[in-house]
Copies of this chain bind each other. A is one copy, B any other.
């Protein structure tokens, strides 16, 4: 499959993945190498992802690892892909999203460690997420031992299916006792959404400490703000030419 596509798509995916990985430290989302971004092209069955454990300042487009999504095989690159690659592959295939980001950003991780869904307390979150951001269940010991990162992806997909949440409308998840995955139409949008997640996670933490009896945003206001920015009735921003 890879050969027939030529090098063009591979090059674009690598550059997109590089750009997104470099944005992680710039946006304050990572400490050391605690995060990775990938770019995915469904038609080409290819995903470009950060190599494992390499500092961001040493990354180049060429160092991004190219993986064939359906088989999980590395098709180009001398470096090992991120150890979280199997989770990226599941999300790419099941959610069909063009960009995925995993970080241990502080406040999203706090909610994940607390084992709590992130409720939608305000319009800042509603502008990007059409409701709560779910926290996954515990992985079972056998899932952890027999393909940890793969089962992490399956647990995310299961959570969205069980709660009937559309991953396009809620492009993030909290992994219990772990951290977050965030996605978007492409790798850049995934980073953007990861910044939003981190900010709303911090706001929600303090709002809840301030008022433990806090209720969530009224449904009409949530819907209004999400629809100001998404779908056919959106009127935020400039008209596309």
Residues in A lying within 8 Å of B, measured CB to CB: 31-32, 34, 51-54, 79-80, 83, 104, 106-107, 109-116, 121-124, 138-139, 141, 144-145, 148, 177-179, 192, 195-196, 199, 202-211, 214-215, 217-218, 220-221, 224, 228, 235-239
The reply to whether A199 and B31 contact each other, CB–CB distance below 8 Å, is yes
Q: Are B53 and A238 in contact (CB under 8 A)?
A: yes
- Within the oligomer, what is the number of copies of this chain? 4
Interface centre among A52, A148, A207, A224 (most CB of B within 10 A): A207
Q: Given A210-B208, A237-B52, do A203 and B109 touch, yes or no (CB 8 Å)? A: yes
Decide if B206 touches A124 in the complex (CB within 8 Å): no
* Contact of A179 with B123 in the complex, beta carbons under 8 Å: yes
Knowing that A106-B202, A113-B207 are A-B contacts, what are 5 other residue pairs whose CB atoms are under 8 Å apart, sorted by A's residue number?
A32-B196, A80-B238, A109-B124, A141-B220, A177-B217
B208 touches A139 (CB 8 A): no
Q: Is the CB of B202 within 8 A of A210?
A: no
Asked whether B79 lies within 8 Å of A104 as measured between CB atoms, the reply is no
Residues of B contacting A121 in the complex (Cβ-Cβ under 8 angstroms): 113-114, 177
For A54, the chain B residues whose CB sits under 8 A away are 237-238
A224 to B148, CA, bound (A): 8
A177 pairs with B109, CB closer than 8 A: no
Q: How far is the CA of A145 from the CA of B208 in the complex (A)?
A: 28
A57 vs B185: C-alpha distance when bound (angstroms): 24
Q: Is A122 a contact partner of B214 (Cβ separation < 8 A)? A: no
Least distance between A175 CB and chain B CB atoms (Å): 8
